[in-house]
Amino acid sequence: MSVAPSQSLTEHVVAVEAGAHVIGAGWLGSKAAFALADGQLLLTNGSEHARVAAHPGGGILVAVNADKTIVTGGDDGRVVATAADGTTRECGKEPGRWIDALAIGRDGAIAWSAGKVVRALDGKGQLRSFTAPTTAQGLAFMPKGYRLAVAHYNGVTLWFPNTDAKPDVLAWKGSHLSVTVSPDGQYAVTAMQENALHGWRLSDRKDMRMSGYPSKTRSLSWSHDGNWLATSGAEAAIVWPFDKQGPMGRAPRECGVRPVRVARVAFHPRALVLASAYEDGTILLIRLTDASELLVQDATGSPITALAWNDTGRSLAFGDEAGNGGLFTLPS
Amino acid sequence: MSDKIPVTVLTGYLGAGKTTLLNRILSEPHGKKFAVVVNEFGEVGIDNDLVVGADEEVFEMNNGCICCTVRGDLIRIIDGLMKRKGQFDAIIVETTGLADPAPVAQTFFMDEDVSSKTRLDAVVTVVDAKWLTERLKDAPEAKNQVAFADVIILNKTDLVTAEELSAVEAQIRAINPYAKIHRTQRAGVDIAEVLGRNAFDLDRVLELEPAFLEESHHHHHDEDVQSVSFTIPGDVDPAKFMPWVNELVQQEGPNILRSKGILAFKGEPKRFVFQGVHMILDGDLTQDWKPGEKRQSKIVFIGRNLNREALNKAFLACAA
């Protein structure tokens, strides 16, 4: 059992009135970006706020962020990239469809899916398409090369958008809802409709089954050194070891045990510190080395739905289902 | 009583009149806003409501059990709709004429995210009075749709004689004696009879189906999908009943399409009400037995190849 966090950092949080269900959060330089279910983006540095109508009349369903861009996909069928100054650019359009999944890669590459259709747009503006065997529910760019992992029913397809090579299929029965690839490109891990994760060691295609969750896992986050994968879905952040030969036959760490499920996890970009956010609105920082806990936000009653560190790891943006957000800055 | 969004599943064989009913629901002045999940755009004319396309993607769980199927597209759509909560009052899911209603109904029990935010209000099945007899012979989907229904819209009654209408109604009753039947022309039914039924809401089973505990007089044995019901004129022992019914649906789940029951547990002032789809059961204690009311226990199964004698014997053995 965990003890109560010994130290509270709650006074280092600036509240942000998001106003609608926060779908995702990211950072555009010094500004945090909150993607909202009402189709707007809220850009804020904590004191000055700007709202951008990224999906007028629609709602944002997915959001991804890298460098100085946040990309959103909506139920208006549009994929929109927004910059720190609030300018928007439509990257793609799937008329009459919902954008189900998004991924962002190196050099400005973006991928999205609507139903079975998956499209990848590289940094030079080259658009390629691929039809998945069933609805593509999760997308992730591989860290090396221009290759996309597509999660769907009964497995994951690895697709090279810029070649005519036949897509490579990693088969595992069941519905795969999202996919993530380890920073070294050695592992692909999916979250499933059933309360489990499935993974593949790509070098020898060995299967990994990580189960025991009481609910679906919706949030996965790799540590900066790639040695740990933190996951939501249980009454603790479940952190799997991916150093050496991977998690086969090894038990995960259970961090921040509380009587409420973890809704979102986000590893610090530079240290072995995990932000763990719960379905009651509580947010903890957990240091992996000694399991010490710091309180960032006390329970609010609303599940945390977005959690994102900035590049330096000084600030953490978060938002919840009820439309409340916050910016936390580590004391110096 | 619950802030869960009600969902109405609209089913019916090709050409029965589903779209006509949907258009009626959406165009009548009822002051409600709906999120409508349809298979094809353009069929329904909607101004104020959210419309979403569905692809009817059925997922089998990893254990390979045919009962444990859910509709992946519904899970995804409802998850997306819930982010825009407050913009609509209810969800209507229109299925294609060939769809199996089981994965649809099961989604609302089996997927945790869906069941925590929505509740299945009712399965509404539209049938064609003139062609149902034929469809029951050649289309297993049509039979399943009737078996799963909480409300049946017996449509196109103007195209058949009174005798033919009685015959087709008897056929429906043979498969599913507990659905509420409305005889209509051009799907002309009071919307209140279709929406907000709470047919899956355990607290209201009796309010809507006051005849549930009365003995049914019509038994037909000529259909492969049939209903069987059994009554104990008094209390049952939960220590006997619960393990039995759980094991029964585990073993016979593929054959049992729907199940319902209202039971008097020994020493328990409240009714125990349960209902299920295939092997998934949902049950709870609800309101008190009224003073002077006869405490009795009744269960109903709608399914295939049900062994009436064996089931009756096993149920009677649960008497307190």
pLDDT confidence bin for B100, thresholds 50/70/90: confident
pLDDT confidence bin for B87, thresholds 50/70/90: confident
| More reliable by pLDDT, B180 or A224 | A224
For B62, the closest of A37, A61, A174 (CB atoms) is A174
Q: Using an 8 Å CB-CB cutoff, list chain A residues near B84.
A: 21, 37-38, 59, 75
For A193, the closest of B53, B59, B73 (CB atoms) is B59
Task: Please report, for residues B9, B18, B125, B261, the alpha-carbon distance to residue B100 in angstroms, rounded to integers and kept in the order given.
Answer: 12, 15, 12, 23
Query: For residue B256, what are the β-bridge partners?
Result: B303
The SS3 assignment for B245 reads helix
Q: Using an 8 Å CB-CB cutoff, list chain A residues near B69.
A: none
A residues 183-242 lying closer than 8 A (beta carbon) to B: 192-194, 215-216
Q: Using an 8 Å CB-CB cutoff, list chain B residues near A215.
A: 112
Which residues touch B279 (CB under 8 Å, ≥6 apart)?
B65, B67, B68, B249, B250, B253, B254, B256
| More reliable by pLDDT, B86 or A104 | A104
- Res A174: pLDDT: 92
- Res A1: pLDDT: 45
Is A134 close to B57, i.e. CB distance below 8 A?
A: yes
Section B77-90 average pLDDT: 91
Identify whether the C-beta of residue B190 lies closer than 8 Å to the C-beta of residue B124: no
Q: Using an 8 Å CB-CB cutoff, list chain A residues near B55.
A: 115, 135
- Res B180: pLDDT: 86
CA A44/CA A318 separation, integer angstroms: 12
Q: In the 8-state DSSP scheme, what is residue A224?
A: T
CA distance A137 to chain B (A): 9
CA A168/CA B274 separation, integer angstroms: 47
Which residues touch A242 (CB under 8 Å, ≥6 apart)?
A182, A186, A187, A222, A226, A227, A228, A229
- Res B109: pLDDT: 85
Q: pLDDT tens-digit profile of B261-297? A: 889 999 999 989 888 888 888 888 888 888 888 899 9
Which among A75, A94, A102 is the top mutation candidate for probing chain B, defined by the most B β-carbons within 10 Å of its own β-carbon? Answer: A75
The chain-wide mean pLDDT, for chain B, equals 85
What are the DSSP calls for A255-290, one per residue? ES--SS-EEEEEE-SSSSEEEEEETTS-EEEEETTT
Please state the separation of Cα B12 from the chain's center in Å: 13
Nearest residue of A to residue B53, measured between CA atoms: A97
| More reliable by pLDDT, A312 or B54 | A312
Q: Does A173 touch chain B (CB under 8 A)?
A: yes
For B72, the closest of A96, A98, A135 (CB atoms) is A135
Residue B144 burial (CB count, 10 A): 21
CA B93/CA B83 separation, integer angstroms: 18
Q: Using an 8 Å CB-CB cutoff, list chain A residues near B70.
A: 193
Q: pLDDT tens-digit profile of A60-112? A: 999 999 989 999 999 999 999 999 999 999 999 999 899 999 999 988 999 99
Section B174-189 average pLDDT: 88
Global pTM? 0.89
Is B84 close to A115, i.e. CB distance below 8 A?
A: no
Q: Does A21 touch chain B (CB under 8 A)?
A: yes
Which residues touch B166 (CB under 8 Å, ≥6 apart)?
none
CA B295/CA A105 separation, integer angstroms: 66
Task: Please report, for residues A222, A224, A241, A243, the alpha-carbon distance to residue A250 in angstroms, rounded to integers and kept in the order given.
Answer: 17, 21, 8, 11
Task: Please report, for residues A20, A29, A72, A121, B74, the alpha-carbon distance to residue B82 in angstroms, rounded to integers and kept in the order given.
Answer: 12, 31, 18, 30, 12
pLDDT confidence bin for B193, thresholds 50/70/90: confident
- Res B201: pLDDT: 58
Q: Using an 8 Å CB-CB cutoff, list chain A residues near B64.
A: 173
Using 70 as the pLDDT threshold, list the residues of chain A that sit under it: 1-6
Identify whether the C-beta of residue B126 lies closer than 8 Å to the C-beta of residue B11: yes
- Res B1: pLDDT: 41
Residue A105's closest CA among A126, A88, A86? A126
- Res B113: pLDDT: 92
Longest dimension (CA), chain A: 56
- Res A255: pLDDT: 96
What are the DSSP calls for A284-309, one per residue? EEEETTT--EEEEE---SS-EEEEEE
| More reliable by pLDDT, A110 or B302 | A110
CA distance A21 to chain B (A): 6
CA B147/CA B125 separation, integer angstroms: 9
Q: Does A154 touch chain B (CB under 8 A)?
A: no
CA atoms within 13 A on the CB side of B288: 4
CA B79/CA B113 separation, integer angstroms: 7
Q: Does A61 touch chain B (CB under 8 A)?
A: yes
Phi-psi region of B150 (alpha: psi -120 to 50; beta: other; left: phi over 0): alpha
CA distance B60 to chain A (A): 7
- Res B192: pLDDT: 82
Nearest residue of B to residue A138, measured between CA atoms: B76
- Whether residue B44 is predicted with pLDDT greater than 60 in this model: the reply is no
Identify whether the C-beta of residue A61 lies closer than 8 Å to the C-beta of residue A75: yes
Identify whether the C-beta of residue B150 lies closer than 8 Å to the C-beta of residue B126: no
- Whether residue B46 is predicted with pLDDT greater than 70 in this model: the reply is no
